[in-house]
Structure 1
């Protein structure tokens, strides 16, 4: 029987926040986050976290919620608020070690139902391979990364050793943005998330495609959160640029849309027609159930959202968990 697998579920790590509190750069990072989101969003988010704190930290509360959602297995990743890409090398190493060990401990309480991902400090490529190895040694399946680090895109050649190591080990890379560089333009009405997250997904994936990262490392196992953002439904424009302009295709060996079938995407797109289009362009075997558990921008009924797309039985089964079961080696 196929497991129902949710690949987009988060855990909150209070010890990580206690570690970074009061350190140089912390207040500046908080102020930047506040400017980008705006005061109304911060207020609502604070209330939301308090209400969902148990599901974010307590394994028993998590399992009860999973049972209510009829989810058998979760791939648990740290809340993206724990990236702390502003941290210096010494602090960044402490962050990834503490985060990796905390996620592993959380998942070890129910190993048959919980698999975990750790963190790597993208702002310090010199530490990234060691951080990935630390996560794997802790029993995690890979790491979660954002769409960029300050001054460093995912196309940066300095990150090539990370991609090579991830390819070599078969580690999962969960691409989940945090924050948006459009800054105060999105500081009202929660545009920082509703517009910012899909924008960041599209930009990050475009860097991986157009820079040739996916050509140099074809075995990478990348899962893009939020259905890959705007990119999959607007990939035709990227294809047109690649065909038409020499600069667009200078470092990208194949048509951009062809790379969608080398990536994985979660199903969290909030619209059954968009989900059907994602399945069409990427393939049913490249879309995985995702809920953003337990945040308010997630799907409280991920299976219901999947059913609403009215996929055929084979596609439904693949998205519900058949593909993810193989990726997570649940057999």
Structure 2
């Protein structure tokens, strides 16, 4: 099977739930400042044109067939995170996301698997809502690279990592927004530079803080090939060897890449081969970012351009994901 682990669903019921709430306008203003007016002018029509693929299972399956994809792991659009939401609303958003994604996937259960959401801004809610996602038949949850005022290394998330490890739930790391703010507000740098940066920062927090030492069974997939970290991991290894303040993890940072999973969406065959070398061919999974414009409509074609050995090609095409998702 060809299994795409990076595909999204749009859930209008979430946007209906947050409409008019204090904090939404402020969050939208921050997003506007971070992206810039030119990007926002493109984003609206781009997403609008893709609504059928994001919401209609029949349209989704036709697009999958055209791309040669047998199974998608579907996660909510990152715009649904709403990490500004207060406790009660955040709980409601995540329940809607979990139930909505499960209902979408249930329309084609042999082709679609799903991930839910948890509210990183309220760490105390995350284990409960992870369980809620699993109760809906989802494989785990999607998270961003940080919540306001909290990094993924924050001790408040220890119960989340412990519960994810205990249950075998997948954690899909998919950044949304970038903390470099207006420095990236032109030429869509907020995405092209911001997303790989956020991936690298988030993964570095998990590695250097010892989260992966304390939870070696954690199943975490990093979107966008893990951003800049896998191809620049040598600098992290050097810091770990040279500086005592960079040694809170037990082993060189590069060794932890082989405990993580990465999607193949790096837009460059040379970068993909380096990712495979750094993490191992058993740790890379097919990814498309379906159906957004910064993804690819031909993930298998992109994988072929890396000119991999047959064994590695078929492992990344779907063999690795079939094991991870426990698919026959």
SS of 1:173's partner is: strand
Report the Cα distance in structure 2 between the residues aligned to 1:55 and 1:306, rounded to whole angstroms.
Answer: 22
Unaligned 5+ residue runs, structure 1? none
* Cα deviation 1:7-26 (Å, max 9, x = unaligned): 00000111101100110101
State the Cα RMSD in Å.
0.4
- CA-CA distance at 1:247 after TM superposition: 0.3
* Cα deviation 1:186-230 (Å, max 9, x = unaligned): 000000000000000000000000000000000000000000000
Report the Cα distance in structure 1 between the residues aligned to 2:261 and 2:237, rounded to whole angstroms.
Answer: 19
Partner residue, 2:67: 69
Counterpart check, 1:269 vs 2:228: no
Report the Cα distance in structure 2 between the residues aligned to 1:42 and 1:19, rounded to whole angstroms.
Answer: 23
Partner residue, 2:113: 115
Report the Cα distance in structure 2 between the residues aligned to 1:110 and 1:329, rounded to whole angstroms.
Answer: 17
SS of 1:81's partner is: helix
Partner residue, 1:150: 148
Report the Cα distance in structure 2 between the residues aligned to 1:101 and 1:330, rounded to whole angstroms.
Answer: 21
Q: TM-score, normalised by structure 1?
A: 0.99
Counterpart check, 1:327 vs 2:324: yes
Partner residue, 2:285: 288
Report the Cα distance in structure 2 between the residues aligned to 1:233 and 1:85, rounded to whole angstroms.
Answer: 30
Q: Number of aligned residue pairs: give it.
A: 328
Give runs of aligned pairs for residues 200-239 of structure 1, distance below 5 A.
Answer: 200-239=198-237
Report the Cα distance in structure 1 between the residues aligned to 2:253 and 2:326, rounded to whole angstroms.
Answer: 29
- CA-CA distance at 1:305 after TM superposition: 0.3
* Cα deviation 1:80-134 (Å, max 9, x = unaligned): 0000000000100000001100000000000000000000000001100011000
Partner residue, 1:31: 29
Partner residue, 1:45: 43
1:6 to 4, 8, 23: 4
- CA-CA distance at 1:330 after TM superposition: 1.0
- CA-CA distance at 1:313 after TM superposition: 0.4
- CA-CA distance at 1:318 after TM superposition: 0.6
Partner residue, 2:302: 305
2:250 to 237, 241, 253: 253
Report the Cα distance in structure 1 between the residues aligned to 2:86 and 2:13, rounded to whole angstroms.
Answer: 18
* Cα deviation 1:225-263 (Å, max 9, x = unaligned): 0000000000000000000000011x1100000000000
SS of 2:244's partner is: coil
Report the Cα distance in structure 2 between the residues aligned to 1:299 and 1:205, rounded to whole angstroms.
Answer: 24
Report the Cα distance in structure 2 between the residues aligned to 1:299 and 1:160, rounded to whole angstroms.
Answer: 35
* Cα deviation 1:157-200 (Å, max 9, x = unaligned): 00000000000000000000000000000000000000000000
1:177 to 175, 178, 189: 175
* Cα deviation 1:142-167 (Å, max 9, x = unaligned): 00000000000000000000000000
Partner residue, 1:241: 239
SS of 2:165's partner is: helix
- CA-CA distance at 1:43 after TM superposition: 1.0
Report the Cα distance in structure 2 between the residues aligned to 1:44 and 1:328, rounded to whole angstroms.
Answer: 35
Report the Cα distance in structure 1 between the residues aligned to 2:125 and 2:75, rounded to whole angstroms.
Answer: 20
SS of 2:160's partner is: helix
